[in-house]
Amino acid sequence: VEEGIVPGGGVALLKCVKGIDGLKLEGDEAIGAGIVKRALESPIRQIAENAGVDGAVVCEKVRGMKYGEGYDALTGEYCNLLERGIVDPVKVARTALENAASIAGLLLTTEALVSEIPEEKEEPAPGGGGGMGGMY
């Protein structure tokens, strides 16, 4: 992998929040930093919710863990993601952040934006446990 690997499952992005917390910002900059922080937390929250657990709880627990540790949504365990092979390529994570920042900057300088009105719909039921073994 060209630029290396980082822990997957949204953990690497969550750890980036510490860099934003260290900045002394005021006004609109502080609001923008808050938006970026929420965006960085979104992947791990969504992965947890897709696994049927509370994303906020997982996010807060992983935030306090050591580097490389996180939540394995497949098993429902907190573990060392690097040892389990749950990783993301650095280049993919970096370019995703760069592209998101570029698009956000473009939207900020745009005079008008057209979007669809979001539909209000119920959240789907969380995923269930495994099925009966040996049944294909």
**CATH number, position 26:** 1.10.560.10
How large is the average pLDDT for residues 6-34?
Answer: 92
Q: Does residue 100 lie within any of the structural domains? A: yes
In a domain? residue 121: no
**Domain-located, residue 88:** yes
Mean pLDDT (the chain, rounded):
90
Question: Who's near 113: CB < 8 A, 6+ residues apart?
Answer: 107
Whether the pLDDT of residue 51 is over 90: the answer is yes
In a domain, residue 81? The reply is yes
Query: What is the pLDDT, as a whole number, of residue 47?
Result: 96
pTM of model > 0.85: no
Q: Give yes or no for residue 79 having a pLDDT over 90.
A: yes
For residue 92, tell me if it sits in a domain: yes
Give how many domains the chain has, as a whole number: 1
114 occurs within a structural domain: no
Q: Quick one: pLDDT at residue 107?
A: 86
Question: Is residue 11 within 8 Å of residue 62, measured between CB atoms?
Answer: yes
Question: What is the structure's pLDDT at 108?
Answer: 84
Domain-embedded: residue 101: yes
List the domain range (segments joined by +) for residue 87.
5-108
**What gap in Å lies between CA 103 and CA 95, rounded to an integer?**
12
User: What confidence tens digit (pLDDT) does each residue in 101-135 have?
Assistant: 999 889 888 888 888 998 888 877 776 666 666 65
Q: Looking at the domain assignment, is residue 36 inside a domain?
A: yes
CA–CA dist 17, 12 (Å, integer)? 9
